[in-house]
Structure 1
Amino acid sequence: MKLLSRLGAAFIFCHSLLPLTASAQSQLTYTTSWIGNSFGFGDGKWVQQDIQAIAVGPDGTVFTNAPWDESGSEIAAYRGGDRIAVAGFTHGWGAAGGDAVAVNHTYLYAAMSIGSENNKLVGADYPPAGQEWFGITRRTLTNLSAGVPFSAGVGNSANATKNSFLPVDTVTTGTDAAIRGLAATDSELYLCDTYANRIVVLNANTMQPLRSWSVSSPGRIAIDTDSTLWVISGISSGSLTILHFTADGTALAGTLPLPAGAIPADITVTPAGQILVADNGPSQQILVFNKDANGQPRAAAPVGTRNGIFHAVKGVPGNWRFNGMTGIALDPAGNLYVAQNGEGPRPAGSASVGQGAILESYVFNSHALNWRLYGLTFVDSAAFDPATPASVYTGSKRFTLDYNQPVGREWSYAGFTLNRFDYPDDPTFHQPRGVRGEPMVRRINGRPFLYTLDPGAHYLNVYRFDAAHGETAIPSGLLAQNPLPGTWPSGQPGYGEWLWRDVNGNGLVDVSEISSNPSTGSTVGNGFWWVDAPGNVWLATPLSGIREMPLQGLDSAGNPIYTYASSKMFAMPQPFTRLARLIYIAESDTMYLSGFTSAIPWDATHWKEAGPVLARYDNWSSGTPTQQYAVSLPWNTQSNPQTTAVGVAVAGDYIFVAELYTAKVDVYDAHTGQPVGYMTPGASVGNTSGWVDVYLGISAVRRDNGEYVILVEDDARAKILMYRWTP
């Protein structure tokens, strides 16, 4: 990239590098709270970040399963709106959860997988090198952490689930052979072997095979009141039907008649014999089938609001407004349980963990809500709406805050801003992980705009809002440091920077709307995006300095306009040799930069960090900016855990720096760079949090009453940490 340097050596330096002092070790007085999870972990509980399948026991206990939860709650149990157990031994050491679960009066049966972690794990507990096992773990309902061994069982010889895993398919590592359906009676276990196109029936007590028959990529399975079976077929092809079989595998005439556009996600049978189907198509309803005098299913009125969370004021959550159902079940008392993840069942071959978990219960006949639980954020940070600190956005959610409520109860789930039906071309769905995170919220001419980063900060996504689309963030633009992997979007360059603006306002990435940067002959690299309060876009490139793309106004569709031709370039200032973070405060013309220096150079093992040095520059745009200070950030790569800075936020008179591994936020005086103190998670969140895993994992605001509110990503337990501090 050719740099048109406006600053060069024209800096005035006021201070040398300021070392950390003893005052940085002073813990501040503050309150710890959280956003986005029904439990804060102060009581050891959290709601898992994804739910792919559920089963319900006779007493109303809901058992869940998913391939991954960051803190090991892949398989868990909930009852009466409380989390009562976690299975354990489904996370790490080659183990992962799965996509199906079933219970009878004695056992829990759950799909899971065991691998060798790139051949690091060897022995009888693990598959051969280069292979992976997909199968079933069996646990007792009274103690989910205890496996129930059987003669064909293998694995986990060093823990309480020894020899309680049944390998069903052994496949090459990277092949998705997940079991997608389970159903159980007290004597038999029905297993949908999606990969091998068959249903296998096992003795529920000995786990020995009894019989099997062929079905094209079977998924969820339900046992009817007459002991026949309903099976979703076509999981691998995406052409889904619901087939009917006797318990011995004899095909029965006809399929369950689904309405046009329906995408069956799960199936269950009520105690009265009604067949219920979770429809993950545009209807987002539970389809209901009654049986006529001959026992044949006939469609009845569906349950739930038509279009779910996208009905009327789109994106507003509420009772019976479903969003990506993954599981439905009823208990003998007639209570309905619905699991959702904002997406639906994990597509074959996908590593998706959904868009946040919701588990809720209703009285099926009266439609009254029993309870609801949330685990809404993962690899996601949060940002305040400049119009009010009572409104907070994450990548795909909006929360409202009432600061007068008790700890952990300040937040309410107000909006889901993704809309996969109206805007399937949202860049979120085509970027790594397919989860929108790392938000910045800006007001341009009083109108809200959402800017988000992908987890690696390679892409800056731009979204607008309008009243007709409710809470939906409408895809408006995209600035890319390099091409996206794969074939989407058509028309992106083969190399180099490019941008897209939704000129015609249809939310689709049309070829004619893509522009390449003519001055970039290669990819920019791992730079960091920042959007200032007026809406100007900044890019801190690792080695080539800083670029500003001034906002050129809004087009007729309401999209912010950015062009490469109007860009302004700034040389990298001293003392940096590599930039990692940038925060520009337009109101005061103040630039904050962090990164690496010749004294502590960048290395690839710390690719996501903010670096060991933070500097402030006043009068940045004047042509003769002044470096006010350069301060050492926490940095010790030899400690255990390592001490490194990963996130930087500025609000009012203070700078807040999130450490990556140590669950610590360091606070500095923004005017002098002097350390003020630090914050760590309090007892309300179990005195702990996960790593801050993303580039923009911290934000802050000063309220009118002088209180500072700091939000920090907590991947470990599906929430956002919230610190409240009054200096």
Structure 2
Amino acid sequence: MDNPLKFAGITGVGADSEGTIYVANSVVNAQECAGGCSDLRAFNPDGSLRWRAKGLLFVNSAVVDPNSDGTIIYTSYYKFKMDYSKPAGQDWEVIATSINPFDYPDDPRLLHSTEEAFDIRYINENKYLYLSDMYTNAFFIYRFDGEIAVPCAVFTAAYGWNGDEYNRLIWHWNRNRPPGPRWMWVDRNGDATATSDEFETFDIGRFVEAIDVDKEGNIYMGNGGNQSGVWKFPANHYDSHGNPQYSASSITKIVDVGHSVATMKWLEDTDLFICGNNWKISEIDIWENWSKPSRKSVRKIKTITGDNLHPESITADNEYVYLSYMGVTGPNGTSGEIAVYRIADGVFMGYILPGPEVENHSGWLDMNQPTKVFVRPNGERIITVEEDHAGKILIYSWRPPDN
């Protein structure tokens, strides 16, 4: 991956009077620099590398490969290897790029933004990558063939606010796609190419804000705005290529939770369902027995809100829920703040804040799901957070008091 003479997405070549050659790469041409950005290299006259500067991320989130004990992290395009024994900033390296525009020219990542690395699941011994964009306008499912993520399904999601216009841009050049803002594509023959017989339309109402995926690859969507439904998109089965076979006819509405579902997380091991009650989350709603007809809301956690405070997204592990504050400032006057609550009793545990490694500063959290958490076997949490000021991902290590 780090061969300095291997280039991707060259955007410019130049030289100076001393014979130094400069090469600018975008890595992948995509909208909003979602995973492309910059890889700048300078070469001596003899062709040896003089220096290299990478700016690979902007408005991106990251997710841990659950089979890696926290040492492998994916973004929309890149696979990173972490060595936590090294100093901060020197502890990562890119070891693979997951996109192949030559074999898979229909890959949605080539056509528009897919900033959010949402989840990684292993199903039937196959690895799957789930992506979205910063506003959850669409949801993308990929299966892996070696290091390459191969597109196998797409759902338009948001439909409302700017989502209806955005969704019309997905494969806008592909006249096989049905008209309208609410449709799904599923690869039925394994060629990863969208054809007219692979599209279906569906209707679950406007304003989808929350999405989740379970261990079997079933997709869940929650209505925002003035709606309050949670919908299930069963994977049904996986074909011989490893493609999940979603269908419009199998979509079901699980429950109406009684309020907007701005963000959500189902914890399958404990069968708890956690959701935020609005775009500006004032309560975190915790349900038990989520997979059973006896499901019910058992606890609500009040959050800290205010005129300039925007608690907008949650994620969770089996013990704690993590509330991300969007925009310029959080309760402590810092961008990128995360409040942590204990699920069992709603007790506030404290804040996760940017530290001296980044001069105690973070840019905005500016996407619907900026924060992901992974629990290592020793109880340590690896928490990845979007960072919009300096174009990076912040990675926090947290050991709860009980550990």
TM-score normalised by the chain length of structure 2? 0.88
| Structure 1: gaps spanning 5 or more residues | 1-315, 597-608
For 1:448, the aligned partner's letter is: K
Match of 1:375 in 2: 55
Residue pair 2:232, 2:253 contacting (<8 A) in 1 also:
yes
Q: Is the 8 A contact 2:126 2:242 kept in 1?
A: no
C-alpha separation in 2, matches of 1:317 and 1:553: 38
Identity %: 28
| CA positional deviation for 1:586 | 1.9
The answer to whether the Cα contact below 8 Å between 2:186 and 2:245 also exists between their aligned partners in 1 is yes
| Alignment partner of 1:479 out of 155, 167, 173 | 155
Shift, 1:354, TM fit: 6.9
Deviations 1:361-411 (A, max 9, x none): 22342x332222211111110111111211111112111111211122221
Among residues 321, 324, 337, which one is paired with 2:22 in the alignment?
A: 337
**Offset at 1:496?**
5.3
Question: How much does 1:317 deviate?
Answer: 4.4
Q: Given the alignment of the two structures, is residue 363 of structure 1 paired with residue 44 of structure 2, yes or no?
A: yes
Would you say the 8 A contact 1:439–1:452 is kept in 2? yes
Partner Cα distance (2:95, 2:197) in 1: 36
Q: Secondary structure at the match of 1:465?
A: strand
User: Counterparts of 1:408 and 1:652 in 2: how far apart (Å)?
Assistant: 29
Match in the other structure for 2:325: 659
d(CA) in 1 for partners of 2:32, 2:349: 42
**Alignment partner, residue 332 of structure 2:** none
Task: Give how far 1:666 is off.
Answer: 0.6
Q: Which has the higher contact order (CA 8 A, sep 6+)?
A: 1
* Distance in 1 separating the partners of 2:207 and 2:102: 33
Q: What is the root-mean-square deviation of aligned Cα atoms in Å?
A: 2.2
Matched, 1:618 2:288: yes
The residue aligned with 1:698 is 371
| Structure-1-length-normalised TM-score | 0.50
Q: Which residue of 1 aligns with 2:135?
A: 456
Shift of 1:342: 1.6
Write out aligned runs for 1:552-571 (5 A): 552-571=236-255
Aligned pairs for 1:592-611 within 5 A:
592-596=274-278, 609=279, 611=281
Shift of 1:700: 0.8
CA deviation after TM superposition for structure 1 residue 701, in Å: 1.0
Mapped to 1, the partners of 2:95 and 2:213 lie a distance apart of 24
CA pair 405-635 structure 1, distance change in 2 beyond 3 A: same
Where 1:684 maps in the other structure, the secondary structure is: helix
SS of match in other structure, 2:208: coil
Q: Quick check: 1:440 aligned with 2:126? A: no
Distance 1:544 1:615 in 2: 13
1:427 correspondence with 2:112: no
Cα distance in 1 for partners of 2:118, 2:261 equals 21
1:324 is the counterpart of 2:3: no
Q: Take 2:281 and 2:238, find their aligned partners in 1: how far apart are those partners?
A: 35
**Selected match of 1:717 from 381, 390, 395:** 390
Deviations 1:159-198 (Å, cap 9, x if unpaired)? xxxxxxxxxxxxxxxxxxxxxxxxxxxxxxxxxxxxxxxx
**Counterpart of 1:26?**
none
Question: Which residue of structure 2 lines up, in the alignment, with residue 401 of structure 1?
Answer: 82
Q: State the SS of the aligned residue for 2:110.
A: helix
Q: CA deviation at 1:544?
A: 4.3
CA pair 426-405 structure 1, distance change in 2 beyond 3 A: same
Secondary structure class of the residue paired with 2:238: coil
Pairing of 1:55-204 with structure 2 (within 5 A): none
Q: Which residue number corresponds to residue 630 of structure 1? A: 300
Contact 1:646/1:657, CA 8 A, preserved across alignment: yes
Q: CA 1:618–1:677 in structure 2 vs 1: closer, same or farther (change >3 Å)?
A: same
Alpha-carbon separation, structure 1, partners of 2:23 and 2:245: 42
| Partner residue in 2 for 1:530 | 212
SS of alignment partner, residue 338 of structure 1: strand
Preserved CA contact (<8 Å) 2:272 2:286: yes
For residues 436 and 684 of structure 1, what CA distance do their matches in structure 2 show?
24
Superposed displacement of residue 572, structure 1: 2.2
- The residue number in structure 1 matching 2:345 is 672
